[in-house]
Amino acid sequence: MTTPRLAVLGSINVDHIMNISQFPKPGETIIGHQYKIAFGGKGANQAVACGRSGADITFIACVGDDAIGNEIISQLKTDNIHIDAISIIPQTPTGVAMILVNEQGENVISIVAGANGALTPTHFQQYHHIIEHADALLMQLESPLETVFEAAKLAKSHQTKVILNPAPAQALSDDFLSFIDVITPNETEAEILTGVSVHDEAGAAKAADILHHKGIKQVLITLGSRGVWFSEQGKGMLIPGFRVDAIDTIAAGDTFNGAFVTAILEGKPSVEAIHFAHAAAAIAVTRHGAQSSVPWRHEIESFLAERA
């Protein structure tokens, strides 16, 4: 049997991470107690989560013409990712994210796109064949929106399942959303897309119904430590996550998305796939960093076995 093929289109960043006791107020200086540089970007984080979870994945992305860009490509290759569609953009720096993490494991992030901005529709044309022959396409919103839109339309026309993690949060047109099969917003993103406050299960259910009416078949609204509101064909349920002592939530959502899509491509039922993704995210939040926190498949399976 042929292994399902996954395409991920998204961003690559170098993360500058500082751990601090609390987030500073405007005009305030806070002394940090740890600083490190790590590889990140929502696209790359999700690609790594897919690769380490066992997916046959090709990553479409751009890095800068700098030493860190080449280092990132080399690292991604060791994460079981096909890297032929990662372009090096001349005279352009690799994307950068500045991340502050407080003592509760919460984070705030600021991003400069750098080479990610070069992933234009024109640049993307050379990789259309990857989408056309893939079984699923996973995307986020750190790449140029017009390219994400074009990729979604292309995938839909070739019966490639489209999964969108609509982050960073922004409004999206109904035309765009009509090409999406599965969407995975958090509470803030769901509210921006639907106008509904998602503070409880009732709000999540209402937001999911609105997204269904826009043409999206499956809605997964991530609710942090409470779990995920999963809705399909108008029927929703809360699927709780695993309780762990979180120290860093930087790539939790990205890890969830990558593991979920991998499990779906393997033919797991949606609820089982969400449990698999919950386990991957639970492991990730007990570790520091973005890609450095993403678990390998055997770690996820061991975690699930211990809690069976």
Distances (CA, A) of 302 to 203, 296, 298, 306: 34, 10, 6, 6
Of 155, 147, 143, whose CA–CA distance to 180 is shortest?
155
- Are the CB atoms for 137 and 129 separated by under 8 Å? no
- What phi and psi values does residue 100 have, to the nearest 5 degrees? -110, 135
165 assigned to a ligand binding site: no
257 assigned to a ligand binding site: no
The neighbour count for residue 249, using CB atoms within 10 Å, is: 18
278 assigned to a ligand binding site: yes
43 assigned to a ligand binding site: yes
268 assigned to a ligand binding site: no
- Are the CB atoms for 59 and 44 separated by under 8 Å? yes
227 assigned to a ligand binding site: yes
44 assigned to a ligand binding site: yes
Q: Describe the crossing of helices 42-53 and 252-265 by its angle, rounded to 10 degrees.
A: 40
224 assigned to a ligand binding site: yes
222 assigned to a ligand binding site: yes
6 assigned to a ligand binding site: no
Q: Kindly write down the DSSP assignment for every residue of 22-72, as one continuous string.
A: SPPPTT-----SEEEEEEE-HHHHHHHHHHHHT-EEEEEEEEESSHHHHHH
Cite the active site residues.
254
Which residues contribute to the annotated binding site for ATP? 186, 222-227, 253-254, 278
Which residues contribute to the annotated binding site for K(+)? 248, 250, 284, 287, 289, 293
Which residues contribute to the annotated binding site? 13-15, 41-45, 142, 186, 222-227, 248, 250, 253-254, 278, 284, 287, 289, 293
Which residues contribute to the annotated binding site for substrate? 13-15, 41-45, 142, 254
